[in-house]
Structure 1
Protein backbone atom coordinates (compact mmCIF):
# COMPACT_ATOMS: atom_id res chain seq x y z
CA UNK A 1 0.00 0.00 0.00
CA UNK A 2 2.85 2.36 0.81
CA UNK A 3 4.36 1.63 -2.59
CA UNK A 4 1.08 2.53 -4.33
CA UNK A 5 1.15 5.82 -2.45
CA UNK A 6 4.63 6.50 -3.86
CA UNK A 7 6.40 6.01 -0.53
CA UNK A 8 10.11 5.40 -1.16
CA UNK A 9 12.13 2.62 0.40
CA UNK A 10 14.83 5.14 1.33
CA UNK A 11 14.88 8.83 2.22
CA UNK A 12 16.80 9.99 -0.85
CA UNK A 13 15.34 12.82 -2.89
CA UNK A 14 14.09 11.22 -6.16
CA UNK A 15 15.20 14.09 -8.41
CA UNK A 16 18.89 13.76 -7.60
CA UNK A 17 19.29 10.77 -5.21
CA UNK A 18 21.97 12.88 -3.57
CA UNK A 19 20.50 13.98 -0.24
CA UNK A 20 17.51 13.10 1.93
CA UNK A 21 14.19 14.53 0.83
CA UNK A 22 13.01 17.78 2.38
CA UNK A 23 11.17 20.84 1.14
CA UNK A 24 14.23 23.07 1.42
CA UNK A 25 16.37 20.58 -0.48
CA UNK A 26 13.76 20.11 -3.22
CA UNK A 27 13.35 23.85 -3.79
CA UNK A 28 16.82 25.14 -3.09
CA UNK A 29 19.74 22.80 -2.41
CA UNK A 30 19.09 20.17 -5.07
CA UNK A 31 21.22 20.43 -8.24
CA UNK A 32 18.07 19.91 -10.31
CA UNK A 33 16.48 22.95 -8.65
CA UNK A 34 19.68 24.94 -9.13
CA UNK A 35 19.46 24.33 -12.88
CA UNK A 36 16.09 26.08 -12.84
CA UNK A 37 17.29 28.97 -10.69
CA UNK A 38 20.19 29.41 -13.12
CA UNK A 39 17.67 30.05 -15.90
CA UNK A 40 16.03 32.88 -13.96
CA UNK A 41 17.18 36.48 -13.93
CA UNK A 42 17.15 36.50 -10.15
CA UNK A 43 20.51 37.06 -8.51
CA UNK A 44 20.29 34.07 -6.21
CA UNK A 45 22.96 31.68 -7.45
CA UNK A 46 25.60 32.96 -5.01
CA UNK A 47 23.33 32.63 -2.01
CA UNK A 48 24.15 30.02 0.61
CA UNK A 49 22.62 26.69 -0.42
CA UNK A 50 22.47 25.45 3.16
CA UNK A 51 19.12 26.41 4.67
CA UNK A 52 17.50 24.78 7.67
CA UNK A 53 13.85 25.23 6.81
CA UNK A 54 11.49 26.51 4.13
CA UNK A 55 10.62 29.47 6.39
CA UNK A 56 14.30 30.43 6.57
CA UNK A 57 14.48 30.34 2.78
CA UNK A 58 11.43 32.59 2.37
CA UNK A 59 12.57 35.03 5.07
CA UNK A 60 15.99 35.28 3.46
CA UNK A 61 14.45 35.90 0.04
CA UNK A 62 12.10 38.58 1.40
CA UNK A 63 15.00 40.42 3.01
CA UNK A 64 17.11 40.43 -0.17
CA UNK A 65 14.64 40.78 -3.04
CA UNK A 66 12.34 43.60 -4.03
CA UNK A 67 8.58 42.81 -4.19
CA UNK A 68 8.53 42.10 -7.95
CA UNK A 69 11.48 39.73 -7.75
CA UNK A 70 9.91 38.09 -4.71
CA UNK A 71 6.78 37.36 -6.74
CA UNK A 72 8.90 35.68 -9.41
CA UNK A 73 10.85 33.79 -6.73
CA UNK A 74 7.61 32.28 -5.38
CA UNK A 75 6.42 31.32 -8.87
CA UNK A 76 9.71 29.60 -9.65
CA UNK A 77 9.59 27.71 -6.34
CA UNK A 78 6.01 26.63 -7.12
CA UNK A 79 6.96 25.17 -10.51
CA UNK A 80 10.11 23.52 -9.14
CA UNK A 81 7.84 21.63 -6.75
CA UNK A 82 5.51 20.80 -9.64
CA UNK A 83 8.54 19.43 -11.49
CA UNK A 84 9.28 17.22 -8.49
CA UNK A 85 5.68 15.92 -8.44
CA UNK A 86 5.72 15.14 -12.16
CA UNK A 87 8.90 13.13 -11.74
CA UNK A 88 7.62 11.20 -8.71
CA UNK A 89 4.04 10.56 -9.86
CA UNK A 90 4.27 10.58 -13.66
CA UNK A 91 7.94 9.66 -14.26
CA UNK A 92 8.30 12.81 -16.39
CA UNK A 93 11.52 14.78 -16.38
CA UNK A 94 11.38 18.50 -17.16
CA UNK A 95 13.68 20.86 -18.96
CA UNK A 96 14.84 23.67 -16.62
CA UNK A 97 14.07 26.23 -19.33
CA UNK A 98 10.49 24.94 -19.61
CA UNK A 99 10.02 25.17 -15.85
CA UNK A 100 11.32 28.74 -15.85
CA UNK A 101 9.15 29.70 -18.82
CA UNK A 102 6.02 28.47 -17.05
CA UNK A 103 6.93 30.48 -13.96
CA UNK A 104 7.59 33.59 -16.05
CA UNK A 105 4.28 33.17 -17.88
CA UNK A 106 2.36 32.83 -14.63
CA UNK A 107 3.81 36.03 -13.18
CA UNK A 108 3.29 37.83 -16.51
CA UNK A 109 -0.37 36.80 -16.65
CA UNK A 110 -0.83 37.85 -13.03
CA UNK A 111 0.64 41.29 -13.64
CA UNK A 112 -1.36 41.75 -16.82
CA UNK A 113 -4.58 40.94 -14.97
CA UNK A 114 -3.63 43.23 -12.10
CA UNK A 115 -2.99 46.09 -14.51
CA UNK A 116 -6.52 45.99 -15.94
CA UNK A 117 -8.59 48.85 -14.58
CA UNK A 118 -12.20 48.10 -13.83
CA UNK A 119 -14.89 50.75 -13.67
CA UNK A 120 -16.49 51.46 -10.33
CA UNK A 121 -19.75 49.76 -9.48
CA UNK A 122 -21.59 53.03 -9.97
CA UNK A 123 -20.25 53.27 -13.52
CA UNK A 124 -21.33 49.77 -14.55
CA UNK A 125 -24.65 49.73 -16.34
CA UNK A 126 -26.20 46.29 -16.02
CA UNK A 127 -29.59 45.50 -17.48
CA UNK A 128 -32.31 45.17 -14.88
CA UNK A 129 -33.37 41.57 -14.57
CA UNK A 130 -37.07 40.66 -14.29
CA UNK A 131 -38.18 39.86 -10.75
CA UNK A 132 -40.78 37.29 -11.78
CA UNK A 133 -39.81 33.73 -12.72
CA UNK A 134 -40.62 32.90 -16.34
CA UNK A 135 -41.22 29.35 -17.60
CA UNK A 136 -39.04 27.83 -20.33
CA UNK A 137 -40.20 27.18 -23.87
CA UNK A 138 -41.54 23.88 -25.21
CA UNK A 139 -39.80 20.73 -24.06
CA UNK A 140 -37.04 22.58 -22.23
CA UNK A 141 -36.75 22.44 -18.44
CA UNK A 142 -35.59 25.29 -16.27
CA UNK A 143 -33.08 24.38 -13.55
CA UNK A 144 -32.78 26.95 -10.78
CA UNK A 145 -30.12 26.63 -8.11
CA UNK A 146 -28.72 28.53 -5.13
CA UNK A 147 -26.11 27.92 -2.41
CA UNK A 148 -26.29 28.90 1.27
CA UNK A 149 -24.13 28.31 4.33
CA UNK A 150 -25.52 26.80 7.52
CA UNK A 151 -25.72 28.59 10.88
CA UNK A 152 -22.32 27.26 11.96
CA UNK A 153 -20.74 28.76 8.82
CA UNK A 154 -18.97 25.43 8.29
CA UNK A 155 -21.09 23.65 5.68
CA UNK A 156 -22.56 24.83 2.38
CA UNK A 157 -25.76 23.50 0.81
CA UNK A 158 -27.21 23.76 -2.67
CA UNK A 159 -30.92 23.90 -3.44
CA UNK A 160 -32.11 22.73 -6.87
CA UNK A 161 -35.54 23.24 -8.44
CA UNK A 162 -36.50 21.87 -11.88
CA UNK A 163 -39.73 23.03 -13.59
CA UNK A 164 -41.32 22.58 -17.00
CA UNK A 165 -42.99 25.00 -19.41
CA UNK A 166 -46.14 25.06 -17.29
CA UNK A 167 -44.24 25.82 -14.10
CA UNK A 168 -44.84 22.35 -12.67
CA UNK A 169 -42.11 21.16 -10.30
CA UNK A 170 -40.68 17.92 -11.67
CA UNK A 171 -37.71 17.53 -9.34
CA UNK A 172 -36.19 19.24 -6.34
CA UNK A 173 -33.19 18.61 -4.16
CA UNK A 174 -31.16 19.94 -1.25
CA UNK A 175 -27.61 18.63 -1.08
CA UNK A 176 -24.62 19.21 1.17
CA UNK A 177 -21.58 20.32 -0.81
CA UNK A 178 -18.21 18.65 -0.48
CA UNK A 179 -15.76 21.51 -0.77
CA UNK A 180 -12.35 20.25 -1.71
CA UNK A 181 -9.19 22.27 -2.00
CA UNK A 182 -9.38 25.34 -4.27
CA UNK A 183 -13.10 24.97 -4.96
CA UNK A 184 -15.54 27.70 -3.93
CA UNK A 185 -19.19 26.99 -2.98
CA UNK A 186 -20.65 28.38 -6.21
CA UNK A 187 -18.47 26.13 -8.34
CA UNK A 188 -19.35 23.07 -6.25
CA UNK A 189 -23.02 24.06 -6.37
CA UNK A 190 -23.01 24.44 -10.14
CA UNK A 191 -21.36 21.04 -10.60
CA UNK A 192 -23.79 19.35 -8.18
CA UNK A 193 -26.77 20.96 -9.94
CA UNK A 194 -25.70 19.87 -13.42
CA UNK A 195 -24.98 16.34 -12.23
CA UNK A 196 -28.38 16.12 -10.51
CA UNK A 197 -30.28 17.37 -13.57
CA UNK A 198 -28.46 14.91 -15.82
CA UNK A 199 -28.86 11.97 -13.44
CA UNK A 200 -32.64 12.39 -13.14
CA UNK A 201 -33.01 12.57 -16.92
CA UNK A 202 -33.37 16.21 -17.95
CA UNK A 203 -31.26 16.68 -21.07
CA UNK A 204 -32.64 19.96 -22.45
CA UNK A 205 -32.26 22.62 -19.80
CA UNK A 206 -31.89 26.28 -19.00
CA UNK A 207 -29.26 26.44 -16.27
CA UNK A 208 -30.44 29.44 -14.26
CA UNK A 209 -28.50 30.75 -11.28
CA UNK A 210 -28.41 33.93 -9.19
CA UNK A 211 -26.75 36.98 -10.68
CA UNK A 212 -23.20 37.02 -9.29
CA UNK A 213 -19.57 37.47 -10.42
CA UNK A 214 -19.32 33.69 -10.78
CA UNK A 215 -22.33 33.50 -13.12
CA UNK A 216 -20.94 36.45 -15.07
CA UNK A 217 -17.65 34.57 -15.47
CA UNK A 218 -19.56 31.55 -16.77
CA UNK A 219 -21.51 33.72 -19.20
CA UNK A 220 -18.38 35.45 -20.50
CA UNK A 221 -16.46 32.17 -20.61
CA UNK A 222 -13.20 33.98 -20.01
CA UNK A 223 -10.12 31.79 -20.17
CA UNK A 224 -7.27 32.03 -17.70
CA UNK A 225 -4.61 30.15 -15.78
CA UNK A 226 -6.04 30.29 -12.26
CA UNK A 227 -7.53 27.28 -10.49
CA UNK A 228 -10.99 28.88 -10.62
CA UNK A 229 -10.64 29.46 -14.38
CA UNK A 230 -9.95 25.75 -14.80
CA UNK A 231 -13.04 24.87 -12.74
CA UNK A 232 -15.13 27.17 -14.93
CA UNK A 233 -13.91 25.32 -18.02
CA UNK A 234 -14.78 22.01 -16.32
CA UNK A 235 -18.33 23.29 -15.79
CA UNK A 236 -18.59 24.20 -19.47
CA UNK A 237 -17.37 20.72 -20.37
CA UNK A 238 -20.04 19.26 -18.06
CA UNK A 239 -22.72 21.32 -19.81
CA UNK A 240 -21.77 19.67 -23.11
CA UNK A 241 -23.25 16.37 -21.83
CA UNK A 242 -26.75 17.78 -22.32
CA UNK A 243 -28.53 17.90 -25.68
CA UNK A 244 -29.16 21.58 -25.10
CA UNK A 245 -28.01 23.67 -22.16
CA UNK A 246 -28.54 27.42 -22.04
CA UNK A 247 -27.04 29.53 -19.27
CA UNK A 248 -28.89 32.42 -17.62
CA UNK A 249 -28.60 34.74 -14.62
CA UNK A 250 -31.73 35.72 -12.73
CA UNK A 251 -32.83 38.18 -10.08
CA UNK A 252 -32.74 36.82 -6.53
CA UNK A 253 -36.54 37.06 -6.34
CA UNK A 254 -36.80 34.49 -9.15
CA UNK A 255 -34.58 32.11 -7.22
CA UNK A 256 -36.39 32.05 -3.88
CA UNK A 257 -37.52 28.44 -4.30
CA UNK A 258 -34.01 27.11 -4.82
CA UNK A 259 -32.68 29.24 -1.97
CA UNK A 260 -35.34 27.98 0.42
CA UNK A 261 -34.55 24.38 -0.52
CA UNK A 262 -30.89 24.99 0.34
CA UNK A 263 -31.93 26.59 3.64
CA UNK A 264 -34.12 23.58 4.47
CA UNK A 265 -31.15 21.28 3.97
CA UNK A 266 -28.85 23.50 6.03
CA UNK A 267 -31.40 23.64 8.86
CA UNK A 268 -32.14 19.90 8.99
CA UNK A 269 -28.64 18.72 8.18
CA UNK A 270 -30.00 16.01 5.88
CA UNK A 271 -29.99 15.93 2.06
CA UNK A 272 -33.25 15.18 0.29
CA UNK A 273 -34.65 14.59 -3.19
CA UNK A 274 -38.23 15.09 -4.41
CA UNK A 275 -39.39 13.70 -7.77
CA UNK A 276 -42.61 15.17 -9.16
CA UNK A 277 -43.09 16.65 -5.70
CA UNK A 278 -41.69 19.37 -3.46
CA UNK A 279 -41.71 20.31 0.25
CA UNK A 280 -44.69 22.32 1.44
CA UNK A 281 -42.35 25.03 2.74
CA UNK A 282 -41.80 26.37 -0.79
CA UNK A 283 -45.44 26.19 -1.92
CA UNK A 284 -46.18 29.88 -1.35
CA UNK A 285 -43.24 31.13 -3.41
CA UNK A 286 -43.66 28.98 -6.51
Structure 2
Protein backbone atom coordinates (compact mmCIF):
# COMPACT_ATOMS: atom_id res chain seq x y z
CA UNK A 1 0.00 0.00 0.00
CA UNK A 2 2.87 2.36 0.76
CA UNK A 3 4.29 1.79 -2.72
CA UNK A 4 0.91 2.47 -4.34
CA UNK A 5 0.40 5.64 -2.27
CA UNK A 6 3.85 6.81 -3.31
CA UNK A 7 3.02 6.24 -6.98
CA UNK A 8 -0.30 8.09 -6.67
CA UNK A 9 1.59 11.14 -5.42
CA UNK A 10 4.40 10.95 -7.96
CA UNK A 11 3.01 9.54 -11.23
CA UNK A 12 0.58 11.02 -13.74
CA UNK A 13 -2.86 9.40 -14.02
CA UNK A 14 -2.32 7.70 -17.41
CA UNK A 15 1.01 6.23 -16.30
CA UNK A 16 -0.64 5.08 -13.07
CA UNK A 17 -3.30 3.22 -15.07
CA UNK A 18 -0.57 1.41 -17.02
CA UNK A 19 1.25 0.48 -13.81
CA UNK A 20 -2.02 -0.93 -12.43
CA UNK A 21 -2.42 -3.20 -15.47
CA UNK A 22 1.21 -4.29 -15.11
CA UNK A 23 0.66 -5.16 -11.42
CA UNK A 24 -2.41 -7.16 -12.43
CA UNK A 25 -0.44 -9.16 -14.99
CA UNK A 26 2.35 -9.82 -12.46
CA UNK A 27 -0.23 -11.10 -9.95
CA UNK A 28 -1.78 -13.36 -12.60
CA UNK A 29 1.69 -14.59 -13.56
CA UNK A 30 2.34 -15.63 -9.96
CA UNK A 31 -1.02 -17.44 -9.74
CA UNK A 32 -0.40 -19.22 -13.05
CA UNK A 33 2.88 -20.58 -11.73
CA UNK A 34 1.67 -21.46 -8.23
CA UNK A 35 -1.60 -23.14 -9.20
CA UNK A 36 -1.06 -24.31 -12.79
CA UNK A 37 2.74 -24.54 -13.09
CA UNK A 38 2.50 -22.37 -16.22
CA UNK A 39 5.43 -20.03 -16.72
CA UNK A 40 5.00 -16.62 -18.41
CA UNK A 41 8.10 -14.71 -19.37
CA UNK A 42 8.55 -11.05 -18.40
CA UNK A 43 8.06 -10.14 -22.07
CA UNK A 44 4.68 -11.87 -22.11
CA UNK A 45 3.67 -10.01 -18.95
CA UNK A 46 4.77 -6.68 -20.41
CA UNK A 47 2.97 -7.36 -23.71
CA UNK A 48 -0.30 -8.42 -22.05
CA UNK A 49 -0.26 -5.34 -19.79
CA UNK A 50 0.40 -3.04 -22.73
CA UNK A 51 -2.42 -4.52 -24.80
CA UNK A 52 -4.88 -4.43 -21.89
CA UNK A 53 -3.98 -0.81 -21.16
CA UNK A 54 -4.43 0.18 -24.82
CA UNK A 55 -7.83 -1.54 -24.90
CA UNK A 56 -8.78 0.37 -21.73
CA UNK A 57 -7.77 3.72 -23.27
CA UNK A 58 -9.67 2.88 -26.45
CA UNK A 59 -12.77 1.88 -24.47
CA UNK A 60 -12.68 5.16 -22.53
CA UNK A 61 -12.47 7.09 -25.80
CA UNK A 62 -15.41 5.12 -27.21
CA UNK A 63 -17.50 5.81 -24.09
CA UNK A 64 -16.77 9.51 -24.38
CA UNK A 65 -17.78 9.48 -28.01
CA UNK A 66 -21.03 7.64 -27.28
CA UNK A 67 -21.98 10.05 -24.50
CA UNK A 68 -21.51 12.97 -26.85
CA UNK A 69 -23.58 11.34 -29.56
CA UNK A 70 -26.56 10.99 -27.22
CA UNK A 71 -27.02 14.76 -27.42
CA UNK A 72 -26.07 15.19 -31.08
CA UNK A 73 -27.66 14.22 -34.38
CA UNK A 74 -26.25 11.17 -36.16
CA UNK A 75 -23.26 12.16 -38.28
CA UNK A 76 -23.20 10.61 -41.70
CA UNK A 77 -19.49 11.38 -42.04
CA UNK A 78 -18.59 9.01 -39.20
CA UNK A 79 -18.67 5.98 -41.49
CA UNK A 80 -16.66 4.65 -44.39
CA UNK A 81 -16.50 7.09 -47.31
CA UNK A 82 -15.66 6.08 -50.89
CA UNK A 83 -12.62 7.60 -52.62
CA UNK A 84 -12.85 9.84 -55.66
CA UNK A 85 -13.57 8.05 -58.92
CA UNK A 86 -9.95 7.83 -60.05
CA UNK A 87 -8.63 6.68 -56.67
CA UNK A 88 -8.56 3.65 -54.40
CA UNK A 89 -9.06 3.68 -50.65
CA UNK A 90 -6.70 1.57 -48.53
CA UNK A 91 -7.96 0.94 -45.00
CA UNK A 92 -5.82 -0.80 -42.41
CA UNK A 93 -6.35 -1.73 -38.76
CA UNK A 94 -4.95 -4.02 -36.06
CA UNK A 95 -6.57 -6.26 -33.48
CA UNK A 96 -5.43 -7.60 -30.11
CA UNK A 97 -6.55 -10.47 -27.89
CA UNK A 98 -5.44 -9.80 -24.33
CA UNK A 99 -5.99 -13.33 -23.03
CA UNK A 100 -3.53 -14.85 -25.52
CA UNK A 101 -1.42 -11.75 -26.33
CA UNK A 102 -2.10 -12.46 -30.00
CA UNK A 103 -2.18 -9.68 -32.57
CA UNK A 104 -3.34 -9.33 -36.14
CA UNK A 105 -3.61 -6.79 -38.94
CA UNK A 106 -6.28 -6.29 -41.58
CA UNK A 107 -6.04 -4.45 -44.90
CA UNK A 108 -8.72 -3.81 -47.50
CA UNK A 109 -8.52 -1.89 -50.77
CA UNK A 110 -11.70 -0.67 -52.50
CA UNK A 111 -12.60 1.50 -55.48
CA UNK A 112 -15.03 4.43 -55.69
CA UNK A 113 -17.96 2.00 -56.06
CA UNK A 114 -17.04 0.18 -52.87
CA UNK A 115 -15.95 -2.93 -54.77
CA UNK A 116 -13.18 -4.89 -53.06
CA UNK A 117 -9.94 -5.09 -55.02
CA UNK A 118 -8.01 -7.03 -52.40
CA UNK A 119 -8.38 -7.95 -48.72
CA UNK A 120 -5.70 -9.28 -46.39
CA UNK A 121 -5.46 -10.77 -42.89
CA UNK A 122 -1.98 -10.89 -41.36
CA UNK A 123 -1.21 -12.47 -37.96
CA UNK A 124 1.62 -10.88 -36.01
CA UNK A 125 3.81 -12.11 -33.18
CA UNK A 126 3.22 -10.41 -29.81
CA UNK A 127 5.27 -7.27 -29.19
CA UNK A 128 5.48 -4.93 -26.22
CA UNK A 129 4.11 -1.90 -28.10
CA UNK A 130 1.00 -2.18 -30.34
CA UNK A 131 2.34 0.80 -32.33
CA UNK A 132 4.84 -1.62 -33.85
CA UNK A 133 1.96 -3.72 -35.19
CA UNK A 134 0.21 -0.58 -36.51
CA UNK A 135 3.40 0.46 -38.30
CA UNK A 136 3.88 -3.05 -39.72
CA UNK A 137 0.28 -3.08 -40.94
CA UNK A 138 0.74 0.20 -42.81
CA UNK A 139 4.03 -1.08 -44.24
CA UNK A 140 2.26 -4.20 -45.53
CA UNK A 141 -0.49 -2.00 -47.03
CA UNK A 142 2.11 0.11 -48.84
CA UNK A 143 3.87 -2.98 -50.19
CA UNK A 144 0.54 -4.52 -51.20
CA UNK A 145 -0.28 -1.44 -53.29
CA UNK A 146 3.14 -1.74 -54.91
CA UNK A 147 2.56 -5.42 -55.66
CA UNK A 148 -0.75 -4.87 -57.46
CA UNK A 149 0.22 -1.60 -59.14
CA UNK A 150 -1.99 0.95 -57.33
CA UNK A 151 -0.57 4.41 -57.99
CA UNK A 152 -3.45 6.67 -56.89
CA UNK A 153 -4.63 5.93 -53.36
CA UNK A 154 -5.67 7.33 -50.02
CA UNK A 155 -4.51 5.35 -46.99
CA UNK A 156 -6.85 5.55 -44.01
CA UNK A 157 -6.50 4.25 -40.46
CA UNK A 158 -7.07 5.18 -36.82
CA UNK A 159 -3.42 5.12 -35.67
CA UNK A 160 -2.84 8.86 -35.23
CA UNK A 161 0.76 8.47 -34.05
CA UNK A 162 1.78 6.33 -37.04
CA UNK A 163 0.07 8.66 -39.53
CA UNK A 164 1.74 11.69 -37.94
CA UNK A 165 5.17 10.01 -38.11
CA UNK A 166 4.74 9.23 -41.82
CA UNK A 167 3.64 12.79 -42.60
CA UNK A 168 6.66 14.36 -40.90
CA UNK A 169 9.72 15.20 -42.97
CA UNK A 170 12.11 14.68 -40.06
CA UNK A 171 13.54 11.25 -39.33
CA UNK A 172 11.54 9.15 -36.88
CA UNK A 173 13.39 8.31 -33.66
CA UNK A 174 10.65 6.08 -32.29
CA UNK A 175 11.90 2.58 -31.54
CA UNK A 176 9.80 1.38 -34.50
CA UNK A 177 11.27 4.28 -36.50
CA UNK A 178 12.99 2.08 -39.08
CA UNK A 179 9.59 0.76 -40.19
CA UNK A 180 8.35 4.36 -40.53
CA UNK A 181 11.41 5.30 -42.59
CA UNK A 182 10.87 2.27 -44.86
CA UNK A 183 7.27 3.38 -45.41
CA UNK A 184 8.36 6.93 -46.20
CA UNK A 185 10.93 5.73 -48.74
CA UNK A 186 8.07 4.46 -50.91
CA UNK A 187 5.29 6.82 -49.83
CA UNK A 188 7.26 10.02 -50.53
CA UNK A 189 7.94 8.95 -54.13
CA UNK A 190 4.23 8.46 -54.90
CA UNK A 191 2.77 11.87 -55.68
CA UNK A 192 -0.79 10.56 -55.86
CA UNK A 193 -0.73 8.78 -52.51
CA UNK A 194 -2.13 10.48 -49.40
CA UNK A 195 -2.65 9.31 -45.84
CA UNK A 196 -5.30 10.42 -43.34
CA UNK A 197 -6.81 9.60 -39.98
CA UNK A 198 -10.31 8.14 -39.65
CA UNK A 199 -12.02 6.74 -36.52
CA UNK A 200 -12.70 3.02 -36.31
CA UNK A 201 -16.35 3.60 -37.29
CA UNK A 202 -14.98 4.42 -40.75
CA UNK A 203 -12.79 1.35 -40.75
CA UNK A 204 -15.05 -1.58 -39.85
CA UNK A 205 -14.06 -3.91 -42.71
CA UNK A 206 -10.35 -3.61 -41.95
CA UNK A 207 -11.05 -4.13 -38.25
CA UNK A 208 -13.00 -7.31 -39.01
CA UNK A 209 -10.08 -8.62 -41.08
CA UNK A 210 -7.68 -7.78 -38.23
CA UNK A 211 -9.81 -9.70 -35.72
CA UNK A 212 -9.87 -12.69 -38.08
CA UNK A 213 -6.08 -12.50 -38.44
CA UNK A 214 -5.69 -13.19 -34.70
CA UNK A 215 -7.05 -16.70 -35.36
CA UNK A 216 -4.74 -17.35 -38.33
CA UNK A 217 -1.31 -18.93 -38.49
CA UNK A 218 -0.35 -17.46 -41.86
CA UNK A 219 -1.16 -14.42 -43.98
CA UNK A 220 -4.30 -14.77 -46.11
CA UNK A 221 -5.05 -12.68 -49.22
CA UNK A 222 -8.32 -12.47 -51.16
CA UNK A 223 -8.34 -10.91 -54.63
CA UNK A 224 -11.83 -9.55 -55.42
CA UNK A 225 -13.54 -12.74 -54.15
CA UNK A 226 -13.91 -11.95 -50.44
CA UNK A 227 -14.91 -14.55 -47.80
CA UNK A 228 -18.63 -14.85 -47.05
CA UNK A 229 -18.27 -13.62 -43.47
CA UNK A 230 -17.18 -10.24 -44.87
CA UNK A 231 -20.21 -9.75 -47.15
CA UNK A 232 -22.50 -8.10 -44.60
CA UNK A 233 -19.86 -5.61 -43.49
CA UNK A 234 -18.90 -4.73 -47.07
CA UNK A 235 -22.53 -4.23 -48.08
CA UNK A 236 -23.17 -2.07 -45.02
CA UNK A 237 -20.36 0.26 -46.04
CA UNK A 238 -21.40 0.21 -49.71
CA UNK A 239 -24.81 1.51 -48.61
CA UNK A 240 -23.06 4.82 -47.96
CA UNK A 241 -22.67 5.20 -51.72
CA UNK A 242 -26.33 4.40 -52.32
CA UNK A 243 -27.38 7.11 -49.87
CA UNK A 244 -25.03 9.60 -51.54
CA UNK A 245 -26.73 8.96 -54.89
CA UNK A 246 -30.27 9.46 -53.61
Task: Confirm whether residue 228 of structure 1 aligns to residue 199 of structure 2.
Answer: no
- CA offsets 1:78-132 (integer angstroms, 9 cap, x no match): xxxxxxxxxxxxxxxxxxxxxxxxxxxxxxxxxxxxxxxxxxx9xxxxxx99312
Where in structure 1 are there 5+ consecutive unaligned residues?
A: 1-120, 122-127
Match of 1:166 among 105, 113, 118: 113
Name the residue aligned to 1:69: none
- Comparing both structures, which one devotes a greater share of its residues to helix? 2
> CA–CA distance in 2 between the matches of 1:239 and 1:180?
25
Name the residue aligned to 2:90: 143
Partners of 1:143 and 1:162 within 8 A in 2: yes
Residues 268 and 226 of structure 1: CA distance in aligned 2, closer, same or farther (over 3 Å): closer
Query: If the length of structure 1 is used for normalisation, what is the TM-score?
Result: 0.49
Where in structure 2 are there 5+ consecutive unaligned residues?
A: 1-60, 62-74, 235-246
> CA–CA distance in 2 between the matches of 1:282 and 1:168?
12
Name the residue aligned to 1:199: 147
Structure number with greater Rg is 1
> CA–CA distance in 2 between the matches of 1:178 and 1:202?
28
Partners of 1:198 and 1:242 within 8 A in 2: no
- CA offsets 1:135-163 (integer angstroms, 9 cap, x no match): 11122110000011246544422101000
Name the residue aligned to 2:220: 272
CA positional deviation for 1:194: 0.9
Q: How many residues align?
A: 161
- CA offsets 1:44-85 (integer angstroms, 9 cap, x no match): xxxxxxxxxxxxxxxxxxxxxxxxxxxxxxxxxxxxxxxxxx
Match of 1:130 among 77, 93, 117: 77
> In the TM superposition, what are the counterparts of 1:183-222 in structure 2 within 5 Å?
184-222=132-170
Residues 257 and 225 of structure 1: CA distance in aligned 2, closer, same or farther (over 3 Å): closer
Task: Confirm whether residue 248 of structure 1 aligns to residue 196 of structure 2.
Answer: yes
Partners of 1:138 and 1:165 within 8 A in 2: yes
CA positional deviation for 1:214: 2.4
SS of alignment partner, residue 267 of structure 1: coil
CA positional deviation for 1:253: 0.5
Partners of 2:92 and 2:156 within 8 A in 1: yes
Partners of 2:94 and 2:207 within 8 A in 1: yes
Partners of 1:211 and 1:252 within 8 A in 2: no
Residues 144 and 138 of structure 1: CA distance in aligned 2, closer, same or farther (over 3 Å): same
Residues 213 and 225 of structure 1: CA distance in aligned 2, closer, same or farther (over 3 Å): closer
